[in-house]
Amino acid sequence: MEGDSESAMYRDMGLKIRTLHVRDIRFPTSLRHDGTDAMHVDCNYSCAYVIIYTEGDVEGHGMTFTIGRGNEIVVAAVKSLAPLVVGQDASKIFDDFAGFWRKLVNDSQLRWVGPEKGVTHLATAAIINALWDLWANLHQKPLWKLLVDMEPEKLVSTIDFKYLSDVITKEEAIEMLKAMEHGKEAREEEMRRVGYPAYTTQVGWLGYSDEHVNNLCHEYLAQGFTAFKVKVGRDLQDDRRRCALVRNAIGWENKLMVDANQVWDIQEAIEWMKQLAEFKPLWIEEPTFPDDILGHAAISKALKPLGIGVATGEMCCNRVMFKQFLQSGAMQYCQIDSCRIAGVNEILSVYFMAKKLGVPVCPHAGGVGLCEMVQHLQIFDYISLSGTMENRMIEYVDQQHEHFEHPTKIVHARYIAPSMPGYSTVMKIESAEDHEYPNGKVWEELFAKGLFTDPRKQCVYVSPAK
């Protein structure tokens, strides 16, 4: 019945997709050392920004996050996927969203440059995110509410369970949702009124001075934050000094996490963390190469007696790797990212596996639009699936929110559930135009000042003379 009423609602709305537009948006955050860590030393927060236009009035906005160079490659990948999207009827996509998702990730030629990982998967995420924004706009609901209000069978139908059925099945996922029906209204009201707990990484960038870090710690304490993350991995003695600085500022009653951004070998990670154990970190994030599942398992086992968990997932390529991380005990905190794997459909599958295997989800966020998007997913999880916030937090970084029409709302260090329709992904027109690379106003000014090299004036490759 739900499908019939939905089809009737869509009738005559002009939902055929007439065009897909993608822009290369970049912010010069490297000038202030924002986002710096042991692996990434010159981040310019960026996104491939997709707008899907239908023949009617409804649009869908989506994006995928990068840190500068290479964003143009993701934009090119979006363009290569566009013919699979343009001309489709969005209502038909939503009738079989799992099938459409599978069509994008399994194109017989494009999948060769994946499959289901890397640039093509990032590009797929931008498109899928835009489609979910469109769907939520159709219903005039924020995305989290669209998910919460779906019948369990409908929501589960959006997920591709291929390669996952040894851990989770459609039937199990449906039963999980039905088992959590009791109390949903109260949990929803709690999210609207009180919100979901956040932790901040803003205090911990490696490029910041001690004075700046100390000031930021006190600033975020005053805002109500009780959990703080520090970047580590470049120099052990400097890490010890900076962890001591943050501990002295935030006290021992608050949580401290550390993040190595993949720089260590396995034994190096274990020995390094033994030297930081006195600062009582809750977790070490991305201690080694992001695809090394057995390596993460070894680190987890070695650090367990120290009370330190392993958090990872922001660079996890796809749902199959998440499955193995969760199965093997290689992660104690599951960090989904709203753009790294291919959009909401695939992320939902990770939530269901994490629920079954008893691993708390603490989403990665902070880049362009990541906080805006991931709040919807975690709020859905609390209301409809996990029903608990124990050992769970959403990352928060206070950057680029002013460029969005409906930015995150943080009150007393909690994400307040969004009230506006969509996925919170609509950028302000002026912001998108000014920061489009390389022709936007902001970049033209930076090139003129000599702060960045204009790529239009670089001669990288010259064809040999005939």
Contact call for residues 346 and 101 (beta carbons, < 8 A): yes
Torsion angle in degrees (nearest 10) through CA of 222, 228, 233, 238: 40
The number of CA neighbours under 13 Å toward the Cβ of 179 is 11
Q: Quick one: tokens of 249?
A: 């500022």
| Token pair belonging to 447 | 């090139």
Banded pLDDT at 36 (limits 50, 70, 90): confident
Catalytic residues: 231, 364
Q: What is the tens place of the pLDDT at every residue in 76-91?
A: 999 999 999 999 999 9
Tokens of 293: 């599942």
What are 367's two structure tokens?
A: 């880049």
- Characterise 112 by phi-psi region: left (phi > 0), alpha (psi -120 to 50), beta (else): alpha
Tens-place pLDDT, residues 279-304:
999 999 999 999 999 999 999 999 99
Q: Tell me the C-alpha distance between 329 and 341, whole Å.
A: 21
Q: Is the dihedral of CA 347, 352, 357, 359 positive or negative?
A: positive
Instruction: Indicate if the pLDDT at residue 1 is higher than 50.
Output: no
pLDDT at 448 over 80: yes
Top pLDDT among 12 and 59 is at: 59
CA 107 from centre of chain:
24
Taking 60 as the threshold, does the pLDDT of residue 66 lie above it? yes
Q: Which of 5-19, 36-50, 230-244, 329-343 has the lowest mean pLDDT?
A: 5-19
pLDDT digits (tens, 9 = 90+) for 169-204: 999 999 999 999 999 999 999 999 999 999 999 998
Work out the pLDDT band at 460, boundaries 50, 70, 90: low
pLDDT at 7: 65
Taking the model in full, what pTM does it have?
Answer: 0.95
pLDDT tens profile 386-407: 999 999 999 999 989 999 999 9
> Would the pLDDT of 462 be above 70?
no
With cut-offs at 50, 70 and 90, classify the pLDDT of residue 4: low
CA angle 372, 33, 126 (to 5 degrees): 30
pLDDT average, residue stretch 404-429: 97
pLDDT per position as a tens digit, 331-379: 999 999 999 999 999 999 999 999 999 999 999 998 899 999 999 999 9
pLDDT at residue 5 in the model:
60
Handedness of CA 92, 96, 100, 103 (dihedral sign): negative
Kindly provide the b/e burial profile for residues 387-417, where b requires at least 16 CB atoms within 10 angstroms of the residue's own CB. bebeebbbbbbbbbbebbebbbebeebbbbb
333 touches 310 (CB < 8 A): yes
What does the CA dihedral 284, 191, 149, 340 come to, rounded to 10 degrees? -30
- Once rounded to an integer, what is the mean pLDDT over residues 307-322? 97
CA 374, CA 424: separation in Å to the nearest integer?
10
